[in-house]
A and B are shown apart, each in its own frame.
Chain A
């Protein structure tokens, strides 16, 4: 990772008549990053990606890519970006080969049969290059989507939920491909997802947005630090329990209470001591659930979606 910003977004806002899809969003992606763009469905991820790719015009804000204002240098910038926006849609009535041949032609890059077959081989579609895309499964289209995003050897790759609809093996392959692109080829990857685990597995830095605004931003390693956790003690319900806690040294670590669930901001190393404390005070502990705080938070904003 370097200090060179590949994407620099300031105050990005998109308003529709009565809806603000993206609100004053700031975002920085550094060269060589695998950047995770995380948020629940409807958070404004797709709108942001479409603005980065000039499909949607921002209502306000600045976008610089490769250090240059996007709209003033659109074609120059787009030449160095490969992308999938939402689900990969192709010309169904054309073959896989013809699709990427035509799309590749728009970059003016080498679209010789050899080169295109190489790309198709990378994504495991070489044997089906003559088949029309309408015969392809979602997973195959997703892989063809990766092929079209890579065929002009872009510096920046923007992938919008690239593992959606894939089977576990397919997900794994895509993740490995992304890691390879970053580590071996030095590409910058901007990856959107609504799955925290996916972002955790492959990204270096991330941002969580919700309702069009940045909620959390930082290095994945720091944000998802195992040291910072919350622990939920499920305690025997009794009115005196709260007093017992309040009078003890753990009182100031209590973050929230929901019925008989008491959530503490503590370290993992504190769990045995706390457990002994409750036993000493004669409070029955029925469960101890440690959770990383970010996970907790993300669970909340995705309203119980898969993590």
Chain B
């Protein structure tokens, strides 16, 4: 499967090998590397098929290379994939990169680079990055993962103290099977529930869109690692 993809991409590359994708990605990486850490207020709007919840407000803490902590007064949730896109995780390992040309999106030119990690551990098979060449930031990401389906991220940036940081992120995903446990204790359950459930398999796929709006960035303020400890603990559960 992977080989076929590489072959197809190579064929495409022959006709557009006028820019070096590795150099392009290095510039992007360097750009992101300027950001040591930040703290930001977010509004999260989740529109997915398996869950309904109101927009939530939270704080996101980030620290290089890939530490993320979500903090909220009420309840908030955030997809682990794609949000706070940092190429670090993707570009730190070995990868093959292919430049496939430029693309016009809403009147703006983007350079399109396909990245194939050599290491399977990330679970990502193929990622397409659309890079804004003026600012050296990734504006669109499309990833296909091995087990958890695919997702797309569109990022609008804002410039704060010469750093480019996300202002609005739209994440769309279509993931593999999820299993929502059926409500217990349903002696008087309505019969029609069963009919719905026995319907289409499609229903059991996680899909939807998450929009995140960022505000009040505080960049490179020297966040302590302690802030992320709790989160790591929770992740282990």
Q: Is there a contact between chains A and B in the complex with CB atoms less than 8 Å apart?
A: no
Q: Which residues of A does B touch, CB under 8 Å? A: none
Binding site for A on B (CB under 8 A): none
